[in-house]
Amino acid sequence: MEKMEKIVSLCKRRGFIYPGSEIYGGLANTFDLGPLGVELANNIKASWWKTFVQNRDDIYGLDGGILMSPKIWDASGHTKGFIDVLVDCKKCKKRFRQDHAKDKCPDCGGELTNPRKFNPMFKTFIGPVEQDSSIVYLRPETAQAIFVNFKNIIDSFHPKLPFGIAQIGKAFRNEITLGNFIFRKLEFEQMEIEYFIKQENWKKHFENWKKEMEKWFLGLGINKKNIRWRNHKKDELSHYSKKTEDIEYRFPFGFKELYGLAYRYDYDLKQHSNASGKELKYQEVDNNKFFPHVIEPSFGLERTILAVLNEAYHEDGKRIVLKLKPSLAPIKVAIFPLLSNKPELVKQARKVYDLLKTRFVCAWDSRGNIGKRYFAQDEAGTPFCLVFDFDSLKDKSVTIRHRDTMKQERIKIDELKEYLNKKLNE
| Nearest to 10, CA basis, from 334, 255, 375, 328 | 375
Q: What is the pLDDT of residue 98?
A: 63
Measured distance CA(183)–CA(322) in Å, rounded: 19
Contact yes or no for 397/412 (Cβ under 8 A):
yes
Angle at 345 between CA 342 and CA 350, to 5 degrees: 125
Q: What is the pLDDT of residue 177?
A: 64
Q: What is the pLDDT of residue 105?
A: 83
Measured distance CA(73)–CA(122) in Å, rounded: 12
Measured distance CA(137)–CA(69) in Å, rounded: 8
| Nearest to 147, CA basis, from 262, 218, 62, 261 | 62
Q: Tell me the pairing of strands 282-283 and 408-412.
A: unpaired
| Per-residue confidence in pLDDT tens, the chain, 426 aa | 599 999 999 999 999 999 999 999 998 889 999 999 999 999 999 999 999 999 999 999 999 999 999 999 889 888 876 666 667 787 786 766 666 557 778 778 788 877 776 668 888 899 877 776 788 999 999 999 999 999 999 999 999 999 999 999 999 988 766 678 899 889 999 999 999 999 999 999 999 999 999 999 999 999 999 999 999 998 887 777 889 999 999 999 999 999 999 999 999 999 999 999 999 999 998 889 999 999 999 999 999 999 999 999 999 888 999 999 999 999 999 999 999 888 999 999 999 999 999 999 999 999 989 999 999 999 999 999 999 999 999 999 999 999 999 999 999 999 999 999 999 987
Residue-range domains of the chain with CATH: 3-83+119-311 (3.30.930.10), 84-118 (no CATH), 331-424 (3.40.50.800)
Q: What is the pLDDT of residue 426?
A: 72
Q: What is the pLDDT of residue 99?
A: 65
